Amino acid sequence: MEKSQRVQPIKALGEEIARKCKGVPLAIRTIGRMLYSEHQETKWLKFKKNKLSTIRQEEDDILPTLQLSYDVLPSHLKHCFAYCSLFPPDYEIPVENLIKLWVAQGFVKSSNECLEDVGYEYYNELVWRSFFQEEKDEFGIIKSCKMHDLMNELAVKVAGEGSRIIHRNKTDFDARRLLHVSFDFDVDLSKWKIPTSLLESNKLRTFLFLRQSRGWEKYLDLSENPIQRLPNWIVKLQNLETLDLKWCDSLVELPRDIKKLINLRHLVLERCDNLAQIPPGLGQLTRLRTLSMFVLSEKKSMSKDSAGLSELGKLKDLRGKLEIRNLGYKKDMVSELNYDGAVLKEKRHLYSLTLHWMGIERENSDAVEEESDVIIKSMEALQPHPSLKQLTLVNYMGARVCENLEHISAEDKVKDFAGDEMMMMSAASPSTTFFPSLESLYLHDCPNLKGWWRNETASASSFRCLSTLSIQSCPNLTSMPLYPNLDSLGFKSSSWKVLPSSFVPSSKLKFLYITAVEDIEYVPEEGIGNLTLLQELSIKNFPNLVSLPDQGMGRLISLQRLHISDCPKLTSLPEGIGNLTVLQKLSIIDCPNLVSLPDQGWVASSLYRDSFFHVVLI
């Protein structure tokens, strides 16, 4: 009762404030967030009398009310929000890029924390206060944000004369006071001339092409550009902090003197698939936080003109994603890996790592024998940090991923694994959990790979957090660690022998996609019936498959989608399919010898045949 009596006056004040917001949801939500933590009536009353009552606005003008929420922001958030006046209404702003721009402008302050992490905290605070609307992709991941038209109008107002969006053919403006400009139209950089008025400005800090997303000074975005080589003048941009070259798939080399960009924090090389090497001296850029790809030279004769793995090892603060290409198997590479401090050992902020070995045709085949110590040591010596969430191995020619990592000291075990008894991939500790944070694992084009260790008793080890596993073109793989929490498994052009380790009791597997498996005629009854949570099963290109297990298939009680294709020897479906009461879609394609469907219980009412159930027979 006493609490209710305290709340009633605040409720009445809130209703009065809402009326002042003229029914605009954005204004109500924004002001509500501002007063959310105030539980005293005096604070609400003070806001109403001292701030809300001073507003003079037209009948349909809600901007002055919205500005109250801006006025109470800390100064660092005011700068961040006002900067967004460079983006037009309804423009999708990439969140990662926005934070890099804030950092480049000096809006983000911290004495000991990573500036990008602090910038993300700033962003979350502005989202919570309804200054931004987040945009999610199909997987629910936040990639970009937008500003409501009213918020965009507010940003333009508070930014003042220092920021401006330049529209096509609008060149009659005073640029003397401009600090930040953006261009809201497509620009052909090979023909476009900078407006004369901009040449008069000597204070510009941002020069942002929104449609090409290209900025200058501290942030230079040349992504999706057909350029093969960067102009040498780029290395003169001493203040450059972000150089974004993603999807520059024609780029073959970086400026030799890139080491002169001493303030560089982000070098984005995602999908620069023709990049031949990284220039020497990159290890001197110790402020680097993002390096999405590191390319080793394929030719030993050019090794002096390119950065080696030892330079990558010096970049201890890398975070996010890293792909290493053109790893080799030769002894000189392994010797380089064994210098003081492993290349990846201290990179605890990386969450995704892709290791890509050179094709065997580029190597001396005598050096790539099946059980070669050199091959295995090329993997061991890298020492990926156990905090990884995603690991991809491509074109690895070893028969095992690792023999052991016994050269990790006891001190390192405690530091890296936070006290857990998790010796990563150690044959000496067979009942172990390693890579304790790993969520996704991809093994592609590893033709000699047989298993994780030489000592098969280590198969009792497990990836306890693994939810996604993809195995492609690993025909000799027969054993894997356990993965008790696996959610999705993709399996292609590999041996059936490794699959039963996925069909364990209490399996949590929901999605199973199996393609191009030749060494199976009859799927065993045992095992597959354990997949009681499986929702989708796809079986494609099984040239020798004769039958599926009757009872095992009948126990897939959660199965909603079943796809079977390119199984020329399959003659019938198991009667147990009639027990799949939640099945919604069955697709059967290119199975020429399949002559009948099960009779008992088939297309019963429980299969939702009227509204949901769908059968495709081709």
Q: What is the pTM of this model?
A: 0.69
Cβ-count burial 493-505 (b if 16+ within 10 Å, e if not): bbbbebbebbbbe
pLDDT (0 to 100) of residue 424: 31
Give the pLDDT confidence of 216-261 residue by residue, as tens digits: 457 888 888 888 998 887 888 888 889 999 999 999 999 999 999 9
Residue 524, amino acid = P
Residues in a beta bridge with 562? 537, 586
User: Is the pLDDT score of 187 beyond 70?
Assistant: no
Of the candidate ranges 62-76, 150-164, 530-544, the one whose mean pLDDT is the lowest: 62-76
- Tokens representing 364 are 């001396």
pLDDT (0 to 100) of residue 439: 93
Q: What is the largest CA-CA distance in the chain?
A: 86
Percent of the chain with pLDDT over 90: 35
- Tokens representing 388 are 């990884």
User: Which residue ranges form the domains of the chain, and what is each CATH number?
Assistant: 2-69 (no CATH), 319-497 (no CATH), 503-618 (3.80.10.10)
| Higher pLDDT pick, 588 / 1 | 588
Percent of the chain with pLDDT over 70: 70
Q: How far apart are alpha carbons 498 and 516 in whole angstroms? A: 14
Is the distance from CB of 493 to CB of 515 less than 8 angstroms? yes
Reported confidence tier of residue 38, pLDDT bands at 50, 70, 90: low
pLDDT (0 to 100) of residue 363: 46
- Tokens representing 551 are 């009872």
Of the candidate ranges 137-146, 391-400, 509-518, the one whose mean pLDDT is the lowest: 137-146
Of the candidate ranges 112-116, 172-176, 209-213, the one whose mean pLDDT is the lowest: 209-213
Mean pLDDT, residues 204-217: 66
**If DSSP codes are grouped into helix, strand and coil, which group holds residue 468?**
strand
User: Is the pLDDT score of 362 beyond 50?
Assistant: no
pLDDT (0 to 100) of residue 89: 86
| Higher pLDDT pick, 210 / 461 | 210
Distance, C-alpha 264 to centroid of its chain: 22
pLDDT (0 to 100) of residue 432: 47
Give the count of alpha carbons within 13 A of 453, CB side only: 21
User: Is the pLDDT score of 425 beyond 50?
Assistant: no
Is the distance from CB of 196 to CB of 184 less than 8 angstroms? no
pLDDT (0 to 100) of residue 495: 93
pLDDT (0 to 100) of residue 411: 34
- Tokens representing 146 are 């937008």
Is the distance from CB of 373 to CB of 382 less than 8 angstroms? no
User: Is the pLDDT score of 355 beyond 80?
Assistant: yes
pLDDT (0 to 100) of residue 454: 61
User: Is the pLDDT score of 478 beyond 50?
Assistant: yes
Sheet of strand 206-209: strand arrangement: 163-166, 180-183, 206-209
Integer angstrom CA distances of residue 497 from 137, 427, 488, 527, 545:
36, 22, 18, 12, 15
pLDDT (0 to 100) of residue 462: 78
User: Is the pLDDT score of 572 beyond 90?
Assistant: no
Could you tell me the end-to-end alpha-carbon distance of the chain, in angstroms, rounded to an integer?
70
Integer angstrom CA distances of residue 502 from 22, 202, 507:
59, 64, 8
Nearest 10 degrees: CA dihedral of 572, 578, 582, 586?
Answer: 20
- Tokens representing 339 are 């210098």
Is the distance from CB of 436 to CB of 411 less than 8 angstroms? no
- Average pLDDT of every residue of the chain: 78
User: Is the pLDDT score of 577 beyond 90?
Assistant: no
Is the distance from CB of 398 to CB of 348 less than 8 angstroms? no
Reported confidence tier of residue 292, pLDDT bands at 50, 70, 90: very high
Of the candidate ranges 114-128, 160-174, 496-510, 564-578, the one whose mean pLDDT is the lowest: 160-174
pLDDT (0 to 100) of residue 138: 58
Mean pLDDT, residues 584-594: 90
Phi, psi of 561 (to 5 degrees): -135, 125
Reported confidence tier of residue 296, pLDDT bands at 50, 70, 90: very high
* Winning range, highest mean pLDDT, from 128-142, 325-339, 599-613: 128-142
Is the distance from CB of 388 to CB of 440 less than 8 angstroms? no
pLDDT (0 to 100) of residue 445: 94
Is the distance from CB of 505 to CB of 529 less than 8 angstroms? no
Mean pLDDT, residues 463-474: 93
Give the DSSP H or E segment for 349. Answer: strand 349-357
Reported confidence tier of residue 508, pLDDT bands at 50, 70, 90: very high
